[in-house]
Amino acid sequence: MKPKVLITERLDEECAAWLGERAEVVWVAHDDPAAMAEHLPGAQGMVVRTYTQVDAALLAQAPELKVIGRAGVGLDNFDLPACEAAGVRVVYTPDANTQAVVEYVTGLMIDHVRPKTPLPGGADDAVFHAMRKTEVGTQLDEMTLGILGFGRIGKRLGQVAHAIGMNLHVCDLLPEAEMRKAVDYPFTYCSHEELYAGSDVVSVHVDGRPENRQMMGASAFAAMREHVVFINAARGMLVDHDALAAWAEASPRASAFLDVHDPEPPSADSPLHGLGNVTLLPHLASRTGTALKNMSWVVRDVDAVLAGKEPSYPAF
């Protein structure tokens, strides 16, 4: 008999079909408690994405569960100790979206410093040449990029930025010597305060551990340059949105780009709505066809565990 695997969020069709050849696949919406309660008791596996909360309450409903696959990178929606205590393996796809996120962040930087206003219809000679005078940008190789968090994405972003010619400031929990062994390009190892004070762009790429919640608060923003570009394409919970709103209002030359939010979508009364120098984006950094398929191939490790094999990317 095939094992029963629940899929609770969107998954690439090819990957779902592959899993369906090896397991009894049941699609259950994560936000349908009745359906979840109906199918969890007989499930041996699950595949989830961002919004399914895997906690002790869910695990208690699934006594036969052996493995949960996270089609993605972060494990913020998992209570990993509870999973381990229940004997449930957790597998994920840690490198699935690295290239997609790095391209997205690089694109945000380029679009911001190099204006690209389209010519209006019927633009005459005067309009054409006026735009050439006013649409003047800044080169990235004249700027310093501060990378907060030097994991897979942070290191790859540094590689791309160095190739463009940017100066790099880096801050991470890892020792400096370990970080330097991991890459073949130069960077300045900084404290948080040094990174904020010395960077033209600050891009956040840290994980979602509880102690990182709202690490980007009033003191962090106050330490940044008046013209800084702040980018968060990591996790919404890293930013104190009230502090960011107050800083943005007081710092008209600064800009912020938020691709992730807490909650998602941003609440209707978020203080960030309507601020001219804050851009809210709908969590798009990993949204390429290739990255989405890479994440969906977590089904391979789900199948491996159900077959009694060791997975390639276990969370613990």
Active site residue ranges:
235, 264, 283
The answer to whether the beta carbons of residues 254 and 276 sit under 8 Å apart is no
| Amino acid at position 284, single letter | L
To which residue do tokens 């290191």 refer?
155
Per residue in 175-193, is it b (16+ CB within 10 Å) or e — as a string? eeeebeeebeeebebbeee
Q: How far apart are CA 229 and CA 258, in angstroms?
A: 11
Angle between helices 299-306 and 13-20 (to 10 degrees): 10
What SS3 state is found at 24? strand
Q: How many residues does the chain have?
A: 316
DSSP secondary structure string for all residues of 199-257: -SEEEE-----GGGTT-B-HHHHHTS-TT-EEEE-S-GGGB-HHHHHHHHHH-TT-EEE
- Listed residue (88, 42, 95, 38) closest to 68, CA to CA: 88
Contacts by 25-30 with C-beta closer than 8 Å and gap 24+?
A: none
Q: Which helix or strand (DSSP H or E) is residue 259 part of?
A: none
Q: How far apart are CA 182 and CA 179, in angstroms?
A: 5
